[in-house]
Amino acid sequence: MDFIGAYSPDHLVFLLKGFWVTIKIAAVSIFFSFIIGGLVGTLRYAKVPVLSQVLAVLVELVRNLPLLLIIFFVYFALPEIGIKFSITWSAIIALTVFESAMVSEIIRSGLNSVHKGQIEAGRSSGLSYVQTLWHIVLPQGIRRMVPPIVSQFISLLKDTSLAVVIALPELMHHAQVINAQNINYIVPIFLFVSVMYFVVNYALSLVARRLELKVQ
């Protein structure tokens, strides 16, 4: 093991550049998956005729597919029918599709956890269905949504490493490039990569705990 050579300034800068790509891909995917997942989860909870059934089928389909398969499909299959994205956007789209399905289920379950009597009370007091959902159901349901949503986003950050299969220049890709130079770099480099993932994910878990305490 060559820690000195593995941790040279050039290697560390190279890894940090890859990690910055990982963070950006994860952040954009989290943003879109939260919006799409929130919309899908709410529509399924509202039981909109036909639309809810269609969304349920799509969500179950995506949830039961490997993320790696979705990445391959977006990057390799879609160009065959004339839809082509860059490596970066292929990773973002695949992650967003997969995580949106997961987030939608978390949100739907959170909303369903609110007792039906709360909804009946809101409607009987003169609130519309949307007002009841916004002012009564959502504030109570969000208490149960925060921890699993943050946990899902932590998983998303780790799942960006799967995009190495399409040569996305993220952290794991850069780690493999360095490891290819010298077999003695493998252990030091993977230790460093592990620490980087741990620090960010642990920080997110602390944020989740703080948010959980605030909404209680």
pLDDT tier at 210 (50, 70, 90 boundaries)? confident
| pLDDT at residue number 116 | 73
Higher pLDDT, 170 or 120: 170
Is residue 140 pLDDT above 90, yes or no? no
- CATH code (residue 40): 1.10.3720.10
pLDDT of residue 122: 67
Instruction: Round to whole Å and give the CA distance between 101 and 37.
Output: 6
Number of folded domains in the chain?
Answer: 1
Averaged confidence pLDDT in the chain: 86
Distances 40 to 37, 87, 132, 211 between C-alpha atoms, Å? 5, 26, 18, 23
Amino acid at site 32: F
Give the per-residue SS3 of the chain. Answer: CCHHHHCCHHHHHHHHHHHHHHHHHHHHHHHHHHHHHHHHHHHHHHCCCCHHHHHHHHHHHHHCCCHHHHHHHHHHHHHHHCCCCCHHHHHHHHHHHHHHHHHHHHHHHHHHCCCHHHHHHHHHCCCCHHHHHHHHHHHHHHHHHHHHHHHHHHHHHHHHHHHHHHCCCCHHHHHHHHHCCCHHHHHHHHHHHHHHHHHHHHHHHHHHHHHHHHCC
Least trusted range by pLDDT, from 53-57, 91-95, 107-111: 107-111
- For residue range 46-82, list pLDDT tens digits in order: 888 889 899 999 999 999 999 999 999 999 999 999 9
Sorting pLDDT into bands at 50, 70 and 90, what band is 131? confident
Lowest mean pLDDT among 48-57, 122-131, 176-185: 122-131
Higher-scoring residue by pLDDT: 10, 120: 10
Inter-helix orientation angle 87-112/51-63, to 10° = 120
- More confidently predicted of 164 and 13: 13
Question: pTM of the full predicted structure?
Answer: 0.86
pLDDT value at residue 212: 67
Euclidean distance between CA atoms 45 and 153, whole angstroms: 22
Tell me the residue range of the domain where 189 lies. Answer: 3-214
- Pull the structure tokens for residue 72: 């391959």
Compute the distance between CA of residue 170 and CA of residue 188 in angstroms, rounded to an integer. Answer: 18
**Which one, of 38, 45, 15, lies nearest residue 111 by Cα?**
45
Report d(CA 190, CA 167) in Å as an integer: 18
pLDDT of residue 161: 87
Q: What pLDDT score does 215 carry?
A: 58
Q: 11-33 pLDDT, tens per residue?
A: 999 999 999 999 999 999 999 99
